[in-house]
């Protein structure tokens, strides 16, 4: 039986099957509507190898033989469509798919807009158009104020474990719209990046193994609540980024795996499909229908939820065919290489599509590879992202900071090497959730030394991080010195704020954030060599670094001095490029932050004593394990 052509337009059929239906969610899935005077729901699904497709749900007793919805193929396109009169919002449903060999499967809707709370897995008929948005000012402003030369301080959040009163007692979206947003604003962050919110069956996958790409997870209440959360962020001046997983999907029976009885969303070659490291399946990026599905999903979150950008997960695993695969599963591309040509094409197309409709969006690659041009335009052969996570900087810095100060002099290059490539891409400096799980210890507990020294080292590290070129990202808990590593099944240890050093750490991070926001030199030149100058890069023996950050005018440079050793320097001379006075902006060793409180001048005057290739120099005290920032007031 053939479906009525009125259910799906010929243009949509053509565009979907050629990888160009960029808003496929408007056609596919379950849409409440009126057809020929009858109110009900239109169902559309892609299942080209199915012998039969039925819609079952609480409206027909979950009985595929009770055909309230007459699903039929639309021509020979592999797309099935039908209309269910009398079905309304809130109805639960699945697709009953009979494969070519007669096997029966029950599948959630790949385009379903809402899912049942796990462990239940049915899709729920939901309209996506009810919310009346109250963020017009934010949406208009972001179009005329692009992010590249603006400050960016991202607070990475796992909504379930930010605050939790008891196991599995999650804050809902609307609660978080007040508690989380108020906290983020008070700390001076500019953006929230949320770990994946697509529906997923296992809490402890953190959302990285999804089944419902178009459904905001029901763990935190109805999807309407997520819109309220995002809207409140925008009203308070906070951007929202979504951690988006387009590289792989989980194997649960109700999901995308063998969707119509055959490999559909995944590659037919198991060596290409399997992700053994994660127990998942890779999308087959060479199929145009899969491209339509994923490209539409990216735009869906921007269209329907007003998300400000996507952090694309695991890019390295997408573009390398043999990423973490055993020898028996290794393959080559049609040119004999190991790059995934289809994945590279997809990523370029993804960024071109997003920027076509949302040129102001943030598209960030979480990429640990050395693939060149990740943030270069596609017309120059790049992948077209506008930001890339600097995993090299992160790994080098954590290795250095974990080293006892007595032995850091031999590892000095770890903290300087990043400036050899800092301007080759547009970088974000990530201190993310991945660095504080699986036995890696929390940021605070990575630091060596005594209890006091751990805090001093972390304040020092954060000071260097904030003044190094690149936008910033910090995972929740890092701001107050969470001592245990992240526990995804429990809330952060907010009780630690009752202890002076932890509360002092929180205040230090807040003040560091606010200082960053208020001084253009710390972010205006993030992607240009002119924004950074070494003063003394070679003082490995004393574990000292000094450098200068410049704004566009270079009128108000900021000098950063970092002492990674346990030695105090009551008098330390540093070359500076300008005459006049220098004012102390921040000292991580202040007693108010839990430091030693070594006496520091508020201002110093530059002398005409050349040093470090500069025409002038200043003398300042430099406490052990500390960062100082000095502002030129010429």
Q: Catalytic residue among 266, 284, 342, 366, which?
A: 366
Buried b vs exposed e over 411-432: b needs ≥16 C-beta within 10 Å? ebebbbebbeebbebbbbbbbb
Which two structure tokens, joined as six digits, stand for 275?
A: 């992700």
pLDDT surpasses 60 at 5: no
**Which CATH number, 3.40.50.10790, 3.40.50.150, 3.20.20.80, 3.30.450.40, labels domain 152-254+283-468+477-509?**
3.20.20.80
Task: Answer yes or no: 203 catalytic.
Answer: no
What CA–CA distance (Å, rounded) separates 443 from 440? Answer: 9
Widest CA span of the chain, in angstroms?
Answer: 91
What CA–CA distance (Å, rounded) separates 569 from 551? Answer: 29
Q: Are 318 and 277 in contact (CB under 8 A)?
A: no
Residue 64's pLDDT is what? 86
| Average pLDDT across the chain, whole number | 96
Average of pLDDT values for 560-577? 97
Q: Detail the DSSP E strand segments found in 355-423.
A: 362-365, 387-389
User: What percent of the chain has a predicted confidence (pLDDT) above 70?
Assistant: 99
Domain with CATH 2.60.40.10 in the chain: 5-124
Domain with CATH 3.20.20.80 in the chain: 152-254+283-468+477-509
Q: Are 207 and 161 in contact (CB under 8 A)?
A: no
Q: Are 555 and 466 in contact (CB under 8 A)?
A: no
Which pLDDT tens digit goes with each residue over 208-221? 999 999 999 999 99
Helices H / strands E in the chain, number of each = 13, 29
Task: Answer yes or no: 536 catalytic.
Answer: no
The full length of the chain comes to 634
Which pLDDT tens digit goes with each residue over 125-182? 999 999 999 999 999 999 998 887 799 999 999 999 999 988 889 999 999 999 999 9
Q: φ, ψ for residue 518 (rounded to 5)?
A: -90, 0
Which pLDDT tens digit goes with each residue over 194-248? 999 999 999 999 999 999 999 999 999 999 999 999 999 999 999 999 999 999 9
Dihedral of the CA atoms 338, 340, 341, 344 (nearest 10)? -130
Distance of CA 347 to the CA centre of its chain: 16
Residue that has been written with the tokens 């260097």 in this structure:
464
Which among 27, 53, 21, 20 is positioned nearest to 42, based on CA atoms? 27
Which pLDDT tens digit goes with each residue over 248-292? 999 999 999 999 999 999 999 999 999 999 999 999 999 999 999
Which pLDDT tens digit goes with each residue over 460-470? 999 999 999 99
Dihedral of the CA atoms 476, 481, 483, 487 (nearest 10)? 0
What CA–CA distance (Å, rounded) separates 162 from 207? Answer: 15
SS3 508: helix
Domain with CATH 2.60.40.1180 in the chain: 529-632
- The confidence band for 553, taking pLDDT boundaries of 50, 70 and 90, is confident
Average of pLDDT values for 398-424? 97
Reported for 169-175, long-range contacts at CB under 8 A and 24+ positions apart, including other chains, are: 170/219, 170/220, 171/220, 172/220, 172/221, 172/225, 173/220, 173/221, 173/222, 173/225, 173/226, 173/228, 173/229, 174/221, 174/225, 174/228, 174/229
Task: List, in sequence order, the alpha helices (H) in 219-340.
Answer: 223-235, 270-273, 288-304, 315-319
pLDDT surpasses 80 at 554: no
Residue 25: C-alpha distances to residues 251, 591, 627 (Å): 22, 56, 50
**Which CATH number, 3.40.50.720, 3.30.70.260, 2.60.40.10, 2.170.120.40, labels domain 5-124?**
2.60.40.10
Number of C-beta neighbours around residue 287 at 10 A? 18
Residue 4's pLDDT is what? 55
Q: Report the chain's terminal Cα–Cα distance, integer Å.
A: 81
User: What percent of the chain has a predicted confidence (pLDDT) above 90?
Assistant: 95
What CA–CA distance (Å, rounded) separates 366 from 388? Answer: 6
What CA–CA distance (Å, rounded) separates 286 from 283? Answer: 9
Which two structure tokens, joined as six digits, stand for 540?
A: 């490995």
pLDDT surpasses 90 at 560: yes
Which pLDDT tens digit goes with each residue over 67-119? 899 999 998 889 999 999 999 999 999 999 999 999 999 999 999 999 999 99
Name the CATH architecture for the domain at 529-632.
Answer: Sandwich (2.60)
Residue 1's pLDDT is what? 46
Residue 516's pLDDT is what? 98
Q: Catalytic residue among 199, 313, 425, 533, which?
A: 313
Helix (H) / strand (E) element for 400: namely helix 391-401
Average of pLDDT values for 9-28? 97
């Amino acid at each position: 039986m053939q479906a009525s052509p009125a259910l799906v337009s010929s243009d949509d059929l053509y565009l979907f099957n050629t990888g160009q239906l960029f808003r496929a969610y408007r056609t596919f899935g379950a849409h409440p509507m009126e057809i020929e005077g009858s109110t009900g729901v239109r169902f559309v699904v892609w299942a080209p190898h199915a012998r039969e497709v039925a819609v079952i749900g609480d409206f027909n007793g979950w009985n595929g033989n009770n055909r309230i919805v007459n699903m039929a193929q639309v021509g020979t396109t592999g797309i099935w469509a039908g209309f269910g009169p009398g079905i309304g919002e809130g109805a639960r449903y699945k697709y009953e798919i009979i494969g070519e060999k007669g096997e029966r499967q029950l599948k959630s809707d790949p385009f379903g807009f809402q899912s049942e709370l796990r462990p239940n897995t049915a899709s729920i008929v939901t309209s996506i158009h009810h919310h009346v948005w109250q963020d017009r000012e934010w949406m208009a402003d972001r179009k005329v104020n692009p992010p590249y030369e603006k400050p960016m301080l991202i607070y990475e959040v796992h909504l379930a474990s930010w605050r939790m009163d008891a196991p599995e007692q999650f804050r809902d979206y609307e609660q978080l719209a007040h508690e989380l947003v108020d906290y983020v604003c008070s700390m001076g962050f500019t953006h929230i990046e949320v770990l994946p919110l697509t529906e997923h069956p296992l809490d402890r996958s953190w959302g990285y193994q999804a089944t419902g790409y178009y459904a905001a997870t029901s763990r935190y209440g109805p999807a309407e609540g997520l819109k309220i959360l995002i809207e409140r962020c925008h009203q308070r001046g906070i951007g929202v980024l979504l951690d988006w997983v387009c590289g792989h999907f989980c194997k649960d029976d109700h999901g995308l795996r063998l969707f119509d009885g055959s490999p559909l969303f995944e590659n037919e070659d198991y060596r290409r499909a399997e992700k053994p490291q994660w127990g998942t399946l890779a999308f087959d990026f060479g199929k145009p229908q899969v491209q339509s599905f994923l490209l539409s999903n990216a735009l869906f979150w921007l269209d329907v939820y007003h998300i400000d950008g996507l952090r694309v997960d695991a890019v390295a695993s997408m573009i390398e065919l043999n990423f973490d695969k055993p020898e028996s599963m290794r393959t080559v591309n049609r040119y004999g290489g190991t790059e995934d040509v289809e994945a590279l094409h997809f990523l370029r197309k993804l960024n071109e599509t997003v920027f076509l409709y949302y040129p102001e969006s943030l598209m960030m690659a979480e990429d640990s590879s050395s693939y060149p041009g990740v943030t270069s335009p596609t017309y120059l052969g790049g992948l077209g992202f506008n930001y890339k996570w600097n995993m090299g900087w992160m790994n080098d810095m954590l290795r250095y900071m974990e080293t006892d100060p007595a032995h850091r002099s031999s590892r000095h290059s770890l903290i300087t090497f990043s400036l050899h490539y800092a301007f080759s891409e547009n970088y974000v400096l990530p201190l993310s959730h991945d660095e504080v799980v699986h036995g890696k210890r929390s940021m605070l507990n990575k630091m060596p030394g005594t209890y006091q020294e751990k805090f001093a080292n972390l304040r020092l590290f954060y000071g260097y991080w904030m003044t190094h070129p690149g936008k910033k990202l910090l995972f929740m808990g890092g701001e107050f010195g969470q001592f245990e590593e992240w526990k995804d099944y429990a809330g952060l240890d907010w009780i630690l704020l009752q202890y002076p050093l932890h509360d002092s750490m929180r205040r230090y991070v807040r003040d560091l954030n606010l200082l960053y926001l208020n001084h253009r030199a710390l972010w205006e030149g993030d992607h240009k060599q002119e924004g950074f100058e070494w003063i003394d890069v070679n003082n490995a023996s004393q574990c000292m670094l000094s450098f200068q950050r410049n704004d566009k005018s270079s009128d108000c440079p900021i000098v950063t001095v970092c002492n990674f050793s346990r030695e105090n320097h009551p008098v330390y001379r540093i070359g500076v490029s300008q005459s006049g006075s220098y004012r102390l902006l921040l000292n991580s060793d202040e007693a108010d932050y839990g430091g030693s409180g070594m006496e520091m001048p508020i201002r110093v005057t530059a002398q005409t004593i050349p040093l470090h290739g500069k025409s002038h120099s200043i003398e300042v005290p430099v406490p052990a394990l500390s960062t100082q920032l000095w502002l030129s007031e010429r």
